Structure 1
Amino acid sequence: MRLRYAILGTLLVLSAFGAQAQGPLPVLDGKMSGPRSAVLVLGTPHLSEIKRPLAGPLQPLIERLAAFKPDIITIENLSGEQCDLIARHPSVYPAEELAPYCVNTEPAKAATGLDVPAAIAEYTTTLRNWPAQPTAAQRRRLAAVFLAGGEHPSALVQWLQLPADEQHAGDGLDEALVARLQKIAASNNESYSIAARLAARLGLTRVHATDDHTGDNVQIDDEKAYGEAIHAAWDQASKQAKANHTRQEELSQGDDLLALYRFVNRPDVLRTGIENDFALAMADPSPQHYGRYYVAGWEARNLRMVANIRAAFRERPGARVLSIVGSSHKPWFDGLLGQMQGVEIVDAQQALK
């Protein structure tokens, strides 16, 4: 099947509105056929920082998210494809800076014989032909291929849909990969503890890794001065920002983390957070304007992440999309995705009631 690019549509828009048009994007979906795509952006703290079991405390939140009935779930992880790109260009993307964001695919390569590009090719073909009632062997194989492709949360989605007596080695999974799946199944990281578990519960085949670190790869000559400038800006955080941080820490220790998610997704809390991060950075008085480097990298990252999310449901008009992302991203995600044609942003506060 040939890929179809939207070049003609772009040319038509430019000719109709002018390449130098100012102001908000024009509304083109007034006479759109079919329902809008609904996108719920769930701002999240990074749960891996919490060192206690969270299965119980997360259950009320997962119930609310299940009620939204997402068709597609996106997560703040680098895809195996981008990690493969990064590894091929060490002069552009220093390994010591980005390696922590990428998983080790060598054990899965040893078990399956697949490097990352070969694994991507196999799981792409497999998903196009995925049966309504896959066998346990098919799920084990797809889990193994996802691991080889650097898509560990999606591997867990398949693993969790296996009956307990089918969660064993075979079909590309060796004992080392089974141990890996068991380990990530116990992880507090929200990509596993929320996204993968919810996807498995809903019978989805995968989650979509949409993070991107190609846009915030800021080139800094004096890293010490840069760090000092950004931290000096953050040191000016308001009393309200500090109080919000304290409250978030308190809620993270509770037995019901739904309260935590309601708090971090409140519009006033989100606004205070970004004002005491990015607005302070923009006011950085250093001669190099380092704060603006920081914000530019942040915005480039968000633009590319949002593009990845949009691509995840481009062939699914009317899809219901849940995007789970660090809460500082949420204002950008809501604003950018809200400009997309045929897309509506779901109120997180209403969804979490």
Structure 2
Amino acid sequence: MGVAFRSMVLAALGSLPIPLPAGPVEEPLPLVRLQHLVPEAERTQVLVLGTFHLREVQARFQPAMVESLLQRLEAFRPDVVAVEALPGPHIHELELRSKATPIHEVLLDQFAEASLALGHEAQALLRLDMVQASRALVAQKGVPSEPAALATLTLQHLAAYEWPSALLAWSRIPEGSPARDRIPAALAAKLDAYLARVNEIQAVAIPLARKLGHARIACVDEFEAPEPLEQVMAALAVSRKEAPLLAGTAKAPVHRESQERRDAAVAAGDLLPYLRHLNSPAYAVADVDAQWAVYLRTHLKDGSDRGRLALWENRNLKIAGRIRALSALYPGKRIVVIYGAAHKPFLDAFLGLCSDLRIVQPEAVLKEAR
């Protein structure tokens, strides 16, 4: 590392003194003060699209149900699409830590089993480990047009534990192309099976990224802090008996209405009206009150209710942090984040504090065409 680069990194991390402006400070909140310096037209636009998990309606799902949604998101022209999936480096970290801590092994089994299974196959074929595959991807510029190169790119993304981007590359290889034979038949069959799953990544993010010519899909998911989560959830399981309010959460009017709207949208063959509802301010208020404000009303003696809320906020802060890091690669551009609707109000709130971001509400993008 060069001296100039080292000095720059240390300054960014706060290890070197940075000159402060002279004179009195007019605004005590640093982020608000920074926001004043960024013209609205130059901000990075972030649209968090709250969704439900499409697997809930997989037996009735048809691709046409999201076509009007895709048309509107394509018209927004995001420069990158981010999804609710663990990024490869985090999976690699869990893999390394799983040998030392049981909770990390459990998380790996529950949330990264497929990434590891497919990834290990690709690593063996390429004779690369996860780190080497990630480095190869950094050197990749743009989206290759040749099917053979797309097959290699598919394997590289798998080896780097970035399965959404792997499926994006795989989906670009035409059926019947000889390039598909570059991947062993058993692994190719698994890729086809994963690509056919009813999920918001396969049904929305991948088609959108393909339409826009993107090279990758960004994974920005995170967990609540594992060790405190173990303790808090164990305590909460016992203390729930003291809190009848918690038992009624799933039956709250907002969730009954949501299910009715979802079923109506499925029956009509178009999920767009339901997604407008999930992304409305009224739904956000009602959902936050039903799912999370309840933990501040129960007043459990052991404090596990407040602990549960703290961990939910912790998870969303970390997800917002990943999105913020992603925005460093796209200053002044547009980012679409496709995420579970319960996260949306929290992500909007945390990201809205950032110095040069502008939160775009989906209602402005998903509105009825005139």
Q: Deviations over 1:230-256 (max 9, x none)?
A: 584432447532433432442453310
Q: Decide whether the 8 Å contact of 1:220 with 1:226 is kept in 2.
A: no
2:42 counterpart SS class: coil
1:86 aligns with 2:74: no
Change (3 A) 1:274 1:347: same
Q: Which residue number in structure 2 is paired with residue 351 of structure 1?
A: 365
CA distance in 2, matches of 1:17, 1:280: 46
Say whether the 8 Å CA contact 2:50–2:278 is kept in structure 1: yes
Separation in 2, partners of 1:296, 1:117? 33
**What secondary structure is seen at the aligned counterpart in 2 of 1:26?**
helix
Distance 1:167 1:236, change over 3 A: farther
Q: Match of 2:139?
A: 125
After TM superposition, the structure 1 = structure 2 runs for residues 261-272 of structure 1, keeping only pairs within 5 Å, are 261-272=275-286
Q: Secondary structure at the match of 1:48?
A: helix
- What CA distance in whole angstroms lies between the structure 2 residues aligned with 1:74 and 1:181? 20
Q: What is the aligned partner in structure 2 of residue 153 from structure 1?
A: 164
Q: How far, CA to CA, are the matches of 1:135 and 1:350 in structure 2? A: 37
Larger radius of gyration: 2
In structure 2, the partner of 1:305 is 319
For 2:187, the equivalent position in structure 1 comes to: 177
Uncovered stretches (5+) of structure 2, i.e. residues with no partner: none
Which is worse superposed, 26-35 or 78-87?
Answer: 26-35
1:131–1:226: structure 2 CA closer, same or farther, 3 Å change rule? closer
**Corresponding residue for 2:69?**
61
Q: Distance in 2 between matches of 1:319 and 1:167?
A: 37
- Measure how far apart 1:10 and its partner are: 9.6
Summarize the Cα distance change of 1:216–1:334 in structure 2 as closer, same or farther, 3 Å threshold: farther
Displacement, 1:223? 4.8
Deviates more, 1:173-182 or 1:191-200: 173-182
Which residue of 2 is the match for residue 253 of structure 1?
266
Shift of 1:150: 1.3
Query: For 2:85, which of 68, 77, 83 is the aligned residue?
Result: 77
Q: Aligned to 1:142, which of 148, 153, 170?
A: 153
Residue 341 of structure 1 is matched in structure 2 by 355
Q: Is the 8 A contact 1:117 1:149 kept in 2?
A: yes
For 2:195, give the aligned amino acid.
Answer: A
Q: CA deviation at 1:214?
A: 5.5
Match of 1:208 in 2: 218
User: Contact (CA 8 Å) 2:233, 2:308: kept in 1 or not?
Assistant: no
**Does residue 49 of the first structure (1) align with residue 60 of the second (2)?**
no
Pairing partner for 2:339 from 296, 319, 325: 325
Q: Report if aligned partners of 1:281, 1:291 keep a CA contact under 8 Å in 2.
A: yes
More helix by share: 2
What residue ranges of structure 1 are gaps of 5+ in the alignment? none
Residues 9 and 274 of structure 1: CA distance in aligned 2, closer, same or farther (over 3 Å): farther
SS in 1 for 2:337: strand
